[in-house]
Structure 1
Amino acid sequence: MTGTLEDLLRELAPQVLGVLVRRYGQFDACEDAVQEALLAAAAQWPAEGVPERPKAWLVTVAGRALVDHWRTDSARRRRETTSVLDPTNEVGDDRDDTLTVLFLCCHPALSPPSQLALTLRAAGGLTTAQVAAAFLVPEATMAQRISRAKQRIRDAGTRFELPDANERPGRLAVVAHVLYLMFNEGYTDLQQPGLTAEAIRLTRLLHRLVPRDGEVAGLLALMLLTEARRAARTDADGSIVPLAEQDRGRWDATAVAEGLALLTRTLGAGPIGPYQVQAAIAAVHDEAPTAADTDWPQILALYDVLERVSPGPVVTLSRAVAVAMVHGPAAGLAVLGTLDDSGRLAHSHRLDAVRAHLLELAGDLATARDCYLRAARMTASLPEQRYLTRRAARVQDRHQQPDQD
């Protein structure tokens, strides 16, 4: 399936699900029916072409799948068949219920991990396998979690509507976190630019719903300031280019300007949160004309704030780089040492990759090479494997150079 078709299906999936749930209820049955329709489209559209009204096509096919599921109830089947197969009903339904689907997936009856998993699949368009990979669990385990989440929503008898003003803040934080994860999944996977675009689209919708929420505005700014660098993240052969070596002339100036404007309106207007701080860090990078001009003391100060408002090993990992750039690689390595017993990073390549970089800066080339290779073995991403392996080879060449003089 081509990237363009995959992007289209990902965008339409929550809209189609919204149409079905608003008409018929039964979120779990509707979500299963939408998945069947998406599979049918993925199989037929490449050969037959995309229909003139792709959303209506998906609604029709998903509706027929519902009829098949309900065929044991003949009276209801006749009633639903009349509604589902009415072309006027299908084509005229242009309402986008994506945000309502997002909030429904973040129902308080679900645990936070279930909220995240269900939203990534139902509203984000990720497959169960992709969601499982994001959570580092087997696909079968994730399938069971999603199934139980849909069952709980059905048992709760939730109405398909946006939460009221009193209930919205608690669920808003989960929705924002889901969109953050969705964006990170697409940005990390260089083959899924459509996923970051969809995360930005959904975050724009959320920002429109709650324009005064500083964290939602900060999240949108963070996405824009980060996505602006996409074109420069890889070279001609698809290899990863680190931030310090990127051609900043290829960055999207329009996205940078929009992100900076959002951040300017947000900072200082209310309580500061982690998305606003991360956006501020991204802004410092994006505003530097060259890597050498980066204001690392300011970035370190922002990471100090981020550790206070949202502490965690991933934040400490990034802060270690800023410490190294301000106080030297030995200081950064000392910060990394505090993460050696962190269970959350035990199966991630990030710790070894950052340690390799700081060891290279410190001149310990032999150990840096070993860390690069160990990190390459731990990541499942082929572009990252190639990048880390090349870094290891470059360090090896530098290490052997004195012996050749």
Structure 2
Amino acid sequence: MMVRSGVKPDPNTYTYLVNHLCKRGNVGYAMQLVEKMEEYGYPTNMVTCNSLVKGLCMRGNLNKSLQFLDRLRKRGLEPDAFTYSFLLEAAYKKKGVDEAMKLLDEIIAKGGKPNLVSYNIILTGLCKAARTEESISFFWNLPEEGFYPNVVTYNTLLRALCWEGLLKEAYELLAKMDDKNYVTYNILVSWLALQGLVDDAFEVLEEMTRAGFKPTGVTYNPIIAHLCKEGKVDEVMKCLDRMMSEQCHPNQGTYNAMAVLCEDGKVLEAFSLFQSLCNSRTYSSLLRGLCSDGMPDAAIEIFKAMEENDVRPDVGHCNAMILGLCKSNRTDLSLHIFEMMVEKGYKPNQMTYALIVEGIALEGETELAVILLEELYERKALSENTVEMLVTQYDLESFPAFQYGTSSRGKEVLPWM
């Protein structure tokens, strides 16, 4: 349109459009745009090409990416280090680290010049495949390839050594690190906590702080998880106090770690910990998160403990539970929570009903969802807009049972007030 109207887009505009289309997953349109622009006399540059290569790789089209690069080479365009990194990551994720290493050899054989990022991708692949000896050899051979490891390279190998239990090698590697970062310390704390070496983990925390890095919930969570598994509630409380004094806020991982106490029958202890951290809003996040992360029983125990300890849940907390349970395909439990709401005098709102319908539809009980939807609409529990949204989203209109206000069977689905 710009070209036809006589306005010439500059290379930046052209590249921006291609990049935007690729980010939205419209790689086909982006390639058509490139072809059209070339017809209008606008040559493709490597920045634009990299957007296309990255877009194709993200969609899993590695072969198309390689074919596209062959066409570029014939036109005199040479891939750069960014191009190679996109290709190698795609090769590793789609075909495994051996194929990625083979591709790296081909790139070098054709005169390509990958950078350290490309080698870090290969190292990550070797480490994740638990090929530790190869990982170590690959790491120490990097200078022969003209590269010196950076903090990302060191952290990648350090994590692998720790998780393989190679403590001596991990500390030797650590001694050679000139620059540690936040991730380095988190790796060490996590591994030490996993081994039950909590005092050592705290020593690393002290070193981390002295080095100018502020611990976060991610740093503390492995320690809290271990202490909870050991049932050391007092130690957990001290750890939480320390976090709060450092203005380090708990996250969902912290809550999940503490919820382990529920699984060991220590519901009141878990609740007392949550109570020291949570307000009304964070209780909703806690309950929803526990359900979504596969801990619905712990969520229900905390929900019950809230009621028993004068922290009366509100409709928002109930909705959070229902949402989390539906997302984890436990609609049976979400219906149990709904029944509990009604029995205890809570008044479900439009969101409550919509979540129940969504949960039933997500579990494939589409006809039941239709019946319930009809009854809810008839009782004016759901607005027409909400009904239409649910019908469209879950293709409920394809069922002949769906006619606004005609159902007589929905009464069997939920207990009504």
Q: Which has the higher contact order (CA 8 A, sep 6+)?
A: 1
TM-score range, shorter chain: 0.3 to 0.5
Q: TM-score, normalised by structure 1?
A: 0.39
In our comparison, the structure showing a higher alpha carbon Rg is: 2
